[in-house]
Every structure is written in structure tokens, then in C-alpha cells.
Amino acid sequence: MSANNISIKPVDNMISIVSAANTSYIMPGVTTDMLQKYDVSGPRYTSYPTADRFVEAFTEDAYKLALEQRSIAGAALPLSIYVHIPFCESLCFFCACNKIVTKHHERSAEYLRYLNREIDLHMEHLGTKKGSVHTISQLHLGGGTPTFFSDDELTELMNMLKRNFFFTPNGEYSIEVDPRTVNEQRLKHLAELGFNRLSFGVQDFDPEVQKAVHRIQPAEQVFSLVEAARRLKFDSINVDLIYGLPMQTPESFTRTLNQIVELRPNRIALYGYAHLPERFKPQRRISEYELPAAPDKIAMLSNALKAFIEDGYVYVGMDHFALPDDDLAIAKRQGRLHRNFQGYSTQPDCDLISLGVSAIGRVGATYSQNAKTIEEYYDYLNQGRFPVVRGLALSRDDLIRRAVIMAIMCQGALQYESIELAYVIDFKTYFANELTLLKEQQAIGMVELEDGGLQVTDTGWFFVRAIAMLFDKYLQTDRNRARFSKII
């Protein structure tokens, strides 16, 4: 569908988007002026400051210091661990991840040996007193394609981790799964290893869209795997979707949405495709002429929100939905939601040890990132060094703004007093300029401002990144925002 076949008009303070098929998509409280104003790029705030602010001046020595300080002051607090497995058998054209496309599975055995070296380095500097062990409450395997590893290799990886860390019984242990790489027997093996959460990459069920992005996987395959995962008693099953892909239309995406509603996963992550071919080489294989126009993307987003909410999903925030009895929805209701490099989480904010090529971690008031190429990653470890090539030590201002931004992104609310007590500031003086800008957002119904705090409205959740961006000091002087995805 072209942009000429769609119209957008305000109706009773709502946007009614009408397609050529006379299908209406409703976004309550959102006006055409708001859509135009906030059709901009912005960070997803899985961290603050964002990773593009990391500097090469942050070296291995700074990372060692952060680990050693943690071993003194916070060793009793649980850790989170992320393992990046970069290998994929085939290339998905939309992908912006750090990956290595290969059919040579013997490469994963070598990579596993280097992961073991990196774990050993961490144990040397984290420090373990006799009779004690480091506890983890959250593990995530991402990529790439973690299920590129064979069952034996996944077993070896988990054994490596369990030799060095204690997995809490109530933790979240998740793995990203390419449906094309697993069957029921493999899912059973993942459950036996201790994984209790699965994330299936679906993106879109439409065959033409799948062909356009070079990722063919029939819907029947995904349905069969989800049914198997339920039989195996996984705590939560997530499905990733992307709107704005080539060949998508509001009508075709509605068919995918109907299938997702029938599938009824515990969680849904709905992402807008960010076309950045100058940064991500695989995206150069996508023709911009095949991408849906902005009004079509708005229609897809609006229809997805309507479909999921009407089917009983809780809108957790930004791009996440969960069934009411899922831990993520419960955490949202109870004000316990957190956000880290993997997105929204139920686990308390804690240090993140990241393993593998390009992996990003957080220890104390620092962020760090490993080497982005596998050759450089191996070279550092061959020298007995951490493969950290850049990062950031957060300033006091960074910490204050991070607390504000995460409260907005996770709770949709902020009590000024909590920031004042934690950081010994006068909030209204410290953020005088930001509060002035917030009044403009209050005037159009995105936030409610009170004497002691702010509350994001239902309408404001559509643009929550724009609200958080007001407190981003780095963006205030940065005009080059095209490196980020669009807010809508």
C-alpha cells in the first residue's frame, strides 16, 4: 500500500487512520500534530548514557578496577550475565546485530574455549572468598543465533557458568531461539539445562515479507515449537515482531497480528524497523522503495496496540506487552520494573557481566564493551587480557539523569523527592530547563505535572522515549540523531 492510499484524520481527539480497504486504526489521544512533531529518532534507553557515548579511554584497567571494587563492596549482591554468541547460518537483511554468518559449526567450539578464558579472567578479579560463590539471578544468551551451538556445546557453556556462579532458584534464565534451528527435542534439552524463558524471533508471518528480508520460516513451525515449549513447562515464551519491514502493509501485518493473538505467547516485543544502511551493511540489500510509508507504519503500530490490548495483554511500555499473569506484567503493576541492555526486566537493577565479542556490560558506575571483531576478541584473550576496548565511567550528573530516565521508562512516573534524597539536590532547580520543556508536553496531554512529581499519561506512553529524551544532557547539544531508531 502506498502513502496515497491512506488518510489520517483527527476524530474526537483521536487519530483515525483509514486504509484503502476502509479499515480503521485508532490511537487514543494522539493528534496529527503530535505524530508529526515526534516523528524523530531517539535512544531506546537500555542504558544512560547510551552506548554511542562510550570512549576508548575506558580501558581494561578501568574495568579491572570496577570488578575489584565490586568484590569489596558488593560481592553479596546478585549478578546478571549476558553471553553473546555471534554465529548465524544465514543472513537476515534487517539485522543490526553483531554477527558472523557461517555454516562452519566447528567455529563455535573455538569460540567456547575463549568464553571459558574470559570467565576465568572474571573469577580472578571478582574475587571469591573460601566457601562463598557469586550468585546470579539473570542469564541471557543472545546473538547472532545462540542455538547455532550444538546441544553438547550449550551443555558445556552452562557447566562453565555453574562451576563459577550459583543460579538462584527464582532467577530468569533466557535464550533467544531461531525457530529454524530447533525442534522439540532441542527445547527439552534447553529446559534440562535450566533455561526457563524462550524468545522466538518471528518478525512477520507473511511469506512475501519473509522473502524480502531473507528469513523464511512458516507459521506452522513456530506454532508447533510454542506448543512444545508449553508442554515442557517453560515459565515464559516471548515472540519478537517487527513492523516497518519491506513489503509490509497494514493489511498484511494485521494477518500476522491475528496469528500472534491465536498463538498467545506470554510476552510480545514489538519493534519498529530502523533502516540504517549506512551503519548496518546487511540492510543495503533492502530497497527503500519497498519500505512502507510513515502513515502505513503508524497504522501497523496502532493496530498492533489495539489487537494486543483487546486480547488482554498489558502494555508494559514502549515495545513490550505481557499477559496479566506474566512476571513482567506483575512487576509493572507493583512498580518493580527495570530496564537493562536486554530491555525490560523483572530482576532488580544489578551489575551485568557480559561475555563474548561486542558484549556490553555494567559494573558499578561503569559501562564497558568488548572488541567488536572476533579476531580482536581472541587476540586480547590470547594475551591474558580482558577484551574491553571502550566504555564509560559515569559522572554524578550521569547517575542522576540515569535514575530520572529509568523511572520514566520503567514506571511512567517520577517523584522528585526520591531523586533529591538519593543525590542531595533540589530537583526543580537542577532540572529547571527540563521542567519548562515538560510543560509543552503537559499541554498536549503526554504528561501530568504536579508539585512533587510527574506522571506519563496513556497517550504519553506512545512517545515515552521523547519524554525521557528531555533529560538526556548529551542530546541537548547533539543534532546527529539519525543513528537512532525512530520513536514511532
**Are the beta carbons of 346 and 327 closer than 8 angstroms?**
yes
* Residue 350 in grid coordinates: 544489578
Query: DSSP state, 59?
Result: -
Beta-ladder partners of 243: 272
d(C-alpha 113, C-alpha 382), whole Å: 11
410 is in an annotated binding site: no
- Based on the number of CB atoms within 10 Å of its own CB, is 337 exposed (0-12), middle (13-18) or buried (19 or more)? buried
57 is in an annotated binding site: no
**Are the beta carbons of 168 and 135 closer than 8 angstroms?**
yes
Phi, psi at residue 360, to the nearest 5°?
-110, 130
The pTM (predicted TM-score) of the whole model is: 0.88
The residue written with cell numbers 554468518 in the block is 101
95 is in an annotated binding site: yes
350 is in an annotated binding site: no
Q: In this predicted model, what pLDDT tens digit does every residue of 123-165 receive, in sequence order?
A: 998 876 444 578 999 999 998 999 999 999 999 999 999 999 9
Distance of alpha carbon 137 from the chain centroid: 18
Residue 483: what pLDDT?
A: 55
Residue 294: what pLDDT?
A: 81
144 is in an annotated binding site: yes
Considering the domain delimited by 395-478, tell me its CATH architecture: Orthogonal Bundle (1.10)
- b/e map of 2-23 (b: 16 or more CB within 10 Å)? eeeebebeeeeeebebbbeeee
Q: In this predicted model, what pLDDT tens digit does every residue of 203-262 receive, in sequence order?
A: 999 999 999 999 999 999 999 999 999 999 999 999 999 999 999 999 999 999 999 999
Structural fold of domain 51-352: pyruvate-formate lyase- activating enzyme (3.80.30)
Query: DSSP state, 292?
Result: P
156 is in an annotated binding site: no
82 is in an annotated binding site: yes
Residue 290: what pLDDT?
A: 92
Weakly modelled stretches of the chain, pLDDT under 70: 1-28, 31-32, 35-36, 73-76, 128-132, 478-488
* Residue 135 in grid coordinates: 550468585
145 is in an annotated binding site: yes
Residue 87: what pLDDT?
A: 94
**Are the beta carbons of 178 and 199 closer than 8 angstroms?**
no
Distance of alpha carbon 473 from the chain centroid: 22
215 is in an annotated binding site: yes
Q: Comparing C-alpha atoms, which of 386, 351, 367 is closest to residue 115?
A: 386
Domain boundary assignment for the chain? 3-37, 51-352, 395-478
92 is in an annotated binding site: yes
